[in-house]
Amino acid sequence: MRALRLLTCLAVLLAMMGAAAPLQTAWAQQVSQSLDESGDPVAGNVPGGSLGNSSDSELWRAIRKGGQFGVSIPDEQAAIMVQSEGELWEEVRNGPLTFYGAVVVVGMFWLLVIFFFIRGRIKIEHGMSGQTIERFGMLERSLHWMVAVSFIVLALTGMNILWGKHVIMPILGKEIFATISMWGKYAHNFLAFPFMLGVALMFVLWVRHNIPNKHDLIWLSKAGGLFTKGVHPPSRKFNAGQKLIFWSVVLGGLTLSLSGVAMLLPFEFGMWAKTFGVLQSIGFNVPDPASVTPMMEMQLSTLWHSAASLVMIAIVLAHIYIGSVGMEGALDAMGSGQVDINWAREHHNLWVEEVEAEQGTAKPQAQPAE
């Protein structure tokens, strides 16, 4: 019985060796093919042939670098198997963009708080006269508030997209945060349209008052008298500070609109290859426009949209401060549209002169601007 078992084992062993022989021959062939005469691996071949005869390293490298292959379905994006820039995008968005964006916005908030405690509210030096002058008509004020309300909602909902999971979610919980974010996203998509329209109309309405002139240099050299009581550099309808706000809103609004629409209509149009082309032609060291894939277009648009909007939010925070708590009498301009003549003479003396000359209503008893 014992001898029979031994014989069976021997037979099985011999059979296995017989089956393995051809495999062993094939393996030996592979090894010999992957080595040159001196026994070194031939380029592209894996030593020992353990992973097959060829490592296909070139192929995998091309895939890792986002190489585009052929697909028979209409979505050509599917032909890119690995989009390595996605990792970089994520690192930038969740790293420096999230952090430095907060530094810019929160930093501006605290700067304004400090400024308020040092400088206090900027008063009308000669006090309210009780006599007013029309600063903005109904159309201008309606437009201002359309842009202001839409921008504030866009800013809050946009900041929620970037920081909400770090700030709101831990406080309100996942469910409430998800609901807020969903409605926030709808609001963000739809309010983009009144904002874009409003900025375009604002440009048409106010551009003629925002062309730089020689008074702006004087205004800037004295920092508009913001830090010194009793200093009121001459100014027409808008001073240099307001012109900076105006151009920030117009140019910031334009770039946010372009990058925003690029995200609303994914892969429909790209602006980065063209932008890099223009920048390259004037000597900037930017990525080669030909290397910008449709996916990179989208990634750059999201990063740029967030970064530009955070800078704009910081600028608008300063504007909101000076237009409300920071300066006595300013808010009336966008409220009733009528401002006190002493406020107007202190901050926009040349404009008051122009209006009075037009209307022939110069009032010698009102206080002169300093």
**362 close to 140: Cβ distance less than 8 angstroms:** no
What is the smallest separation between the CB atom of 262 and ligand HEM, expressed in angstroms? 20
User: What tokens does 190 get?
Assistant: 């739809």
What is the smallest separation between the CB atom of 334 and ligand HEM, expressed in angstroms? 4
What is the smallest separation between the CB atom of 169 and ligand HEM, expressed in angstroms? 26
Could you list the residues that contact ligand HEM (CB under 6 A)? 135, 144, 147-148, 151-152, 202, 238, 242, 245-246, 249, 316, 319-320, 323-324, 330-331, 333-334
Helices and strands per DSSP (H, E), number in the chain: 12, 2
Q: Which amino acid is at 327?
A: M
**278 close to 270: Cβ distance less than 8 angstroms:** no
Minimum CB distance to ligand HEM smaller for 300 or for 369: 369
Place of tokens 């970089």: 88
User: In angstroms, rounded to a whole number, what is the distance separating the alpha carbons of residues 122 and 346?
Assistant: 11
Minimum CB distance to ligand HEM smaller for 108 or for 245: 245
What is the smallest separation between the CB atom of 347 and ligand HEM, expressed in angstroms? 7
Minimum CB distance to ligand HEM smaller for 77 or for 189: 189
HSE, side-chain direction, 13 A CA sphere, residue 203: 14
User: In angstroms, rounded to a whole number, what is the distance separating the alpha carbons of residues 21 and 23?
Assistant: 5
Minimum CB distance to ligand HEM smaller for 299 or for 347: 347
User: In angstroms, rounded to a whole number, what is the distance separating the alpha carbons of residues 145 and 336?
Assistant: 13
Minimum CB distance to ligand HEM smaller for 46 or for 330: 330
> For residue 191, which of 139, 263, 260, 249 has the smallest C-alpha distance?
260
Q: Report the residue number whose CB is nearest to ligand HEM.
A: 323
Minimum CB distance to ligand HEM smaller for 172 or for 327: 327
User: In angstroms, rounded to a whole number, what is the distance separating the alpha carbons of residues 258 and 264?
Assistant: 10
Place of tokens 């996942």: 174
User: In angstroms, rounded to a whole number, what is the distance separating the alpha carbons of residues 152 and 325?
Assistant: 17
Radius of gyration of the chain (CA): 34
What is the smallest separation between the CB atom of 176 and ligand HEM, expressed in angstroms? 26
Minimum CB distance to ligand HEM smaller for 169 or for 313: 313
Minimum CB distance to ligand HEM smaller for 181 or for 210: 210
HSE, side-chain direction, 13 A CA sphere, residue 175: 0
User: In angstroms, rounded to a whole number, what is the distance separating the alpha carbons of residues 8 and 20?
Assistant: 18
